[in-house]
Chains A and B, each alone.
Chain A
């Protein structure tokens, strides 16, 4: 098989620092040549024939199901890039500040040619520490972009106090328990920490730490795993900033899961709630299996596979995270619990 070209999707609200990061990726000597797909050339300082303008054309496949919403322009552009064999090693797709990242990500699963030749590496969201709380109040896209991310670059940390930063970080964690968070000024970070992450690679989901996997983790940061509905009396300090509907639900179980029950439950959840679930990831202990079963979903599209043995043989905790809008935490918890072996 031809090697698949990794694709990083770069999102973030206007002014968060995406262009700064783009210019670094284009100018720094990191040994990789990137084709960069931008929504406008604007501030891009590099005039390269590998910088391509896109139209952000979102369209529906298969009768308009939200999960089949893709970026038509990306299919075309990537098709064109792939004809120029060997002139680049990776692709970076920048979205506008107002973009929903899901159609971008779904493009890499929905179009068979794109899927065959490229692989979505990760969704990287740049967040402006100073303004993100305001953005979360006034624009739903800001929550989408954070919730969808695999890597969050919490930028401009020098513009806020330590206390403010702690509040922002907690907020990001509540919206997205599995993303890696890096704190930066002017997007200064080793590019190896944000590129080539393999976030959609099932075999690498097990590397996600610590919030998602940490065994001694305090789940009370997570928002709804200990509670239900949308009652936020227990974290008053965040109430003011709360995004009204975006949330995450973390589930865990020390008992092995019945594979058949889990399969039918998760299919049912994704079929009925897929449109409101942005991302889901899980590392699961299925009964009678020696290895960890890893699972991920973007809206209704999901995949799962076994991925290596448990690190500590006797400690097999299943963990699962859902990120989405209007999640029914109690129903998810009950459904998950019902998958446990008696």
Chain B
């Protein structure tokens, strides 16, 4: 059971940045948190002097739409409705990676170890390697891209769209995709840590998954809301998802989730839905954010839940849109649609 004051009050800091938090990531050295916001800025927080707050850099003329770490450590990629994909360094210096004019850049992802970046706009997805002067490979799908995900080994990319997920080899210059069909609109996409499962969140309140080793596929449903977030812990033994009033965890051990019941933790019956989930980088703990701004950290299979942030009482509640852990697992960032950002330090609790 949850008990006590939220951790942010004793071990954290909070800011009101006044714009939708689109994405957030920590640098590989766990020293900085970097966020992109709906006002077109990228903001950098130095955790060695967090009290100083975020430094803002205006990157896009309009708003940001997507965000990911770049393949170069310490740099990040911000895609915007000005059609630009911009690489942003910690000092705010920028380099335009792509300019699609009046088209929006809606999705971006990268695999730093493998050295690939991928981004998408409408029906076009682009894969870009790390060599200087490389032209991106353009992949035009039959329908608009709903999500991008590179597999853990950095060899393949899954591109979700309407009625299917297409898999492409990143290093190939062309070639036909492996198509994983299923009727409906596939949005956010993720791979299991062993690379055997691809799972998508759909426009309907359901997940769809495929096991590549034997071609089996499965549907996971019963959600009350759209599933805006899912996360595999590093061990890959379960998939934690939002979209319900508790964190729903599907078992991925011993043949996958087919025919099994999920476990759940956190939240309360008929409470606000979970809008963000992110597994801890090292431990079997999962952070979850709710539609009312609440943030918890819990452990699947137990009822122990640590309150991190409680919903603000003095203003309109806003959904948690983003969670990010530092790679060392010491700090958690939570950002909301209204631009509230909380950073909590777990070190003294260990």
**Structural contact, B144 and A73, CB atoms closer than 8 A:** yes
Task: Name the A residues within 8 Å of B214 (CB-CB).
Answer: none
- Min CB gap A217→B, angstroms: 43
Cα separation A82 to B316 with both chains bound (whole Å): 17
Query: Which of B39, B144, B183, B204 touches A57 (beta carbons < 8 Å)?
Result: B144
- Min CB gap B244→A, angstroms: 14
**Structural contact, B63 and A112, CB atoms closer than 8 A:** no
Interface string of A57-95 (1 = CB under 8 A from B): 101111110000000110111001011110100000000
Interface of B is mostly: loop
Interface string of A33-45 (1 = CB under 8 A from B): 0000000010000
* Chain B interface residue count, Cβ-Cβ cutoff 8 angstroms: 33
**Structural contact, A85 and B144, CB atoms closer than 8 A:** no
Cα separation A87 to B39 with both chains bound (whole Å): 9
Query: Which of B19, B103, B146, B203 touches A61 (beta carbons < 8 Å)?
Result: B203
Task: Name the A residues within 8 Å of B70 (CB-CB).
Answer: none
**Structural contact, B162 and A80, CB atoms closer than 8 A:** no
Which residues in window 78-137 of A have CB below 8 A to B? 80, 82-85, 87, 111-113
Cα separation A214 to B74 with both chains bound (whole Å): 69
**Structural contact, B162 and A57, CB atoms closer than 8 A:** yes
Asked if B2 CB lies within 8 Å of chain A CBs, one says no
Asked if A53 CB lies within 8 Å of chain B CBs, one says yes
| A70 closest partner in B (C-beta) | B203
Cα separation A113 to B82 with both chains bound (whole Å): 23
- Min CB gap A300→B, angstroms: 17
- The residue in B103, B146, B185 that gathers the most chain A C-beta atoms within 10 A of its C-beta is B185
**Structural contact, A55 and B122, CB atoms closer than 8 A:** yes
- Min CB gap B197→A, angstroms: 24
Which residues in window 59-89 of B have CB below 8 A to A? 61-65, 81-82
| B104 closest partner in A (C-beta) | A80
| A62 closest partner in B (C-beta) | B204
Asked if A49 CB lies within 8 Å of chain B CBs, one says yes
Task: Name the A residues within 8 Å of B185 (CB-CB).
Answer: 59, 61, 72
Interface string of B104-126 (1 = CB under 8 A from A): 10100000000000000011000
Cα separation A59 to B187 with both chains bound (whole Å): 13
Asked if B20 CB lies within 8 Å of chain A CBs, one says yes
**Structural contact, A55 and B123, CB atoms closer than 8 A:** yes
Task: Name the A residues within 8 Å of B242 (CB-CB).
Answer: none
| A112 closest partner in B (C-beta) | B226
Query: Which of B18, B20, B102, B162 touches A83 (beta carbons < 8 Å)?
Result: B20
Cα separation A60 to B244 with both chains bound (whole Å): 23
**Structural contact, B104 and A52, CB atoms closer than 8 A:** yes
**Structural contact, A80 and B81, CB atoms closer than 8 A:** yes
Query: Which of A49, A82, A85, A111 touches B203 (beta carbons < 8 Å)?
Result: A111
Cα separation A273 to B117 with both chains bound (whole Å): 50
Known: A61-B203, A113-B226. A76 touches B106 (CB 8 A): yes
Asked if B225 CB lies within 8 Å of chain A CBs, one says yes
Asked if A29 CB lies within 8 Å of chain B CBs, one says no
Cα separation A75 to B64 with both chains bound (whole Å): 17
Asked if B12 CB lies within 8 Å of chain A CBs, one says no
**Structural contact, A80 and B106, CB atoms closer than 8 A:** yes
| A48 closest partner in B (C-beta) | B62
**Structural contact, A84 and B39, CB atoms closer than 8 A:** yes
- Min CB gap A70→B, angstroms: 8
Asked if A2 CB lies within 8 Å of chain B CBs, one says yes
**Structural contact, B81 and A49, CB atoms closer than 8 A:** yes
- The residue in A50, A55, A83 that gathers the most chain B C-beta atoms within 10 A of its C-beta is A83
Task: Name the A residues within 8 Å of B22 (CB-CB).
Answer: 83
Task: Name the B residues within 8 Å of A76 (CB-CB).
Answer: 106, 144, 146
**Structural contact, B82 and A49, CB atoms closer than 8 A:** yes
| A51 closest partner in B (C-beta) | B102
**Structural contact, A83 and B225, CB atoms closer than 8 A:** no
Query: Which of A1, A57, A75 touches B143 (beta carbons < 8 Å)?
Result: A57
Query: Which of A61, A87, A113 touches B204 (beta carbons < 8 Å)?
Result: A61
Known: A80-B81, A85-B19. A49 touches B62 (CB 8 A): yes
Asked if B53 CB lies within 8 Å of chain A CBs, one says no
Asked if B181 CB lies within 8 Å of chain A CBs, one says no
**Structural contact, A72 and B204, CB atoms closer than 8 A:** no
- Min CB gap B64→A, angstroms: 8
Asked if B298 CB lies within 8 Å of chain A CBs, one says no
Task: Name the A residues within 8 Å of B233 (CB-CB).
Answer: none
- The residue in B38, B146, B204, B339 that gathers the most chain A C-beta atoms within 10 A of its C-beta is B38
Which residues in window 1-52 of A have CB below 8 A to B? 1-2, 41, 49-52
Asked if B271 CB lies within 8 Å of chain A CBs, one says no
Cα separation A76 to B226 with both chains bound (whole Å): 14
Known: A59-B185, A80-B104, A83-B22. A75 touches B203 (CB 8 A): yes
Cα separation A62 to B205 with both chains bound (whole Å): 10
Cα separation A41 to B82 with both chains bound (whole Å): 15
- Min CB gap A111→B, angstroms: 7
- Min CB gap B28→A, angstroms: 27
**Structural contact, B203 and A53, CB atoms closer than 8 A:** no
Known: A72-B162, A72-B185, A113-B226. A53 touches B102 (CB 8 A): yes
Cα separation A59 to B103 with both chains bound (whole Å): 21
**Structural contact, A55 and B38, CB atoms closer than 8 A:** no
- Please, could you name 29 A-B residue pairs with CB atoms under 8 Å apart, sorted by A? A1-B316, A51-B102, A52-B104, A53-B103, A55-B122, A57-B143, A57-B144, A57-B162, A59-B143, A60-B183, A60-B184, A61-B203, A61-B204, A62-B204, A64-B183, A73-B122, A73-B144, A75-B203, A80-B63, A80-B81, A83-B65, A84-B62, A85-B18, A85-B20, A85-B39, A85-B339, A87-B62, A111-B203, A113-B226
Q: Using a CB–CB distance below 8 Å, which chain B residues touch chain A? A: 18-20, 22, 38-39, 61-65, 81-82, 102-104, 106, 122-123, 143-144, 146, 162, 183-185, 203-204, 225-226, 316, 337, 339
Top 10 nearest A-B pairs by Cβ distance? Answer: A84-B63, A83-B38, A83-B20, A49-B62, A84-B38, A59-B162, A80-B65, A83-B63, A72-B185, A59-B185
Q: Using a CB–CB distance below 8 Å, which chain A residues touch chain B? A: 1-2, 41, 49-53, 55, 57, 59-64, 72-73, 75-77, 80, 82-85, 87, 111-113
A57-B143, A80-B104, A85-B20 given; name 5 further pairs at CB < 8 Å.
A41-B102, A49-B82, A53-B103, A72-B143, A80-B65
